[in-house]
Amino acid sequence: MPRERISLKTNAEIMLMREAGLITAAALAEVRKAIKPGVSTLELDAIAEKTIISHGAKSNFKLVPGYSHTICVSINDEVVHGIPKADRIIQAGDIVSVDCGAQTPNGWNADAAFSVVVPGGDPEVVQRREALSKVCEDSLWAGIAKLASATRLNEVGRAVEGSIRASGRYGILQDYIGHGVGRSMHEDPAVFNYQTRDLGPVIENGLVIAIEPMITQGSQAVRILADNWTVSTKDGADGAHWEHTVAKHADGVWVLTAEDGGVEGLKPYGVTPIKPKL
């Protein structure tokens, strides 16, 4: 990818993006607290919208052409891009993936996602879904940790895939990947969740990307449902989705959408996130 297509951020701009990251994190935290049996996915959307607005920001998902909601919320075999609906009711034992982003008044963006298993339901199903979510989350942190030392971007994808493969047989979505973040929620470069033949662009200070592994309990094959948004597994297997917006700067990495900057998530990898100097 040509260098000129990748927008590098100054430390001051990364600090401004941190504001968007914290607002996104706050919205996701409020949604997570509200996830329980009997709650509709549209109610979760309203909670995220209220939280983002209360911080003086706006939903950047609503800036995507054709999309009119603040979050994507996907349940069980829906891996990503699920549309919030009043009649989509969360059940005990469901695995729920929520994706959200915020744009601050000064035009900077952030994007993040998590998966969680609703308590209750069949214990075996819950255990399997919790394991799936953990494998996905661990692979996210493996990718973030690799960003701290990598010289080429697709080393991140190799680390993500390596973490997943070490945990068992899981499908890794091929056509849905991470991306750069900045003045737009989706920017260059592409951030793969698997090893590619091409090592990708050289990692330079000021790179800000969203790393977001999306995996399934079965095949990687997916289909888009009739709503033209929701991505579901063809074999009916469960899916999971985790994401953070991460900045690479001269002194290291900083996870903009983690309240602690990524301290706990990176600890097992021996990496300490560092706030950029102004």
Q: Is residue 278 part of a domain?
A: no
Q: Which residues constitute the domain of residue 16?
A: 3-269
This prediction's pTM = 0.97
Q: What is the mean pLDDT of residues 214-233?
A: 97
Q: What is the mean pLDDT of residues 110-138?
A: 97
d(CA 198, CA 155): 10
Residue 11 has pLDDT above 50, yes or no: yes
Q: Give the H/E segment covering residue 132.
A: helix 123-147
Instruction: Say how many domains are in the chain.
Output: 1
The pair of structure tokens assigned to 229 is 């948004």
Chain position carrying tokens 């499908």:
171
| Contact by Cβ (8 Å): 86, 233 | no
CATH number of the domain that 254 lies in? 3.90.230.10
Q: Is residue 245 part of a domain?
A: yes
Q: Is residue 121 part of a domain?
A: yes
The pair of structure tokens assigned to 235 is 């074999």
Q: Look at residue 240 in the predicted model and tell me its pLDDT.
A: 98
Residues 67-94: tens digit of each pLDDT: 999 999 999 999 999 999 999 999 999 9
Average pLDDT, the chain: 97
d(CA 26, CA 40): 20
Residue 2 has pLDDT above 70, yes or no: no
Residue 1 has pLDDT above 70, yes or no: no
pLDDT band at 4 (very low <50, low <70, confident <90, very high): low
Residue 131 has pLDDT above 60, yes or no: yes
CB burial readout 69-101, b (16+ within 10 A) else e: bbbbbbbbbbbbbbbbeeebebeebbbbbbbbb
Whether the upstream peptide bond of residue 213 has omega within 30° of 0, thus cis, is: no
Eight-class DSSP state of 264: H
Q: Is residue 194 part of a domain?
A: yes
Q: What are the residues whose beta carbons fall under 8 Å from the beta carbon of 214, sequence distance 6 or more?
A: 79, 80, 136, 172, 173, 176, 193, 239, 240, 241
* 3-state SS assignment for residue 199: coil
39: phi > 0 → left, psi -120 to 50 → alpha, else beta; which? beta
| Contact by Cβ (8 Å): 231, 78 | yes
Residue 51 has pLDDT above 70, yes or no: yes
pLDDT > 90 in the chain, percent = 97
Q: Look at residue 70 in the predicted model and tell me its pLDDT.
A: 98
Q: Look at residue 80 in the predicted model and tell me its pLDDT.
A: 98
Please give the C-alpha separations between residue 167 and each of 76, 137, 200, 255, in angstroms, as whole numbers.
20, 12, 25, 24
Q: Is residue 274 part of a domain?
A: no
Q: What are the residues whose beta carbons fall under 8 Å from the beta carbon of 277, sequence distance 6 or more?
A: 11, 250, 251
Q: Is residue 115 part of a domain?
A: yes
Q: Is residue 64 part of a domain?
A: yes
Q: What is the mean pLDDT of residues 181-200?
A: 96
Q: Is residue 68 part of a domain?
A: yes
Q: Look at residue 22 in the predicted model and tell me its pLDDT.
A: 98
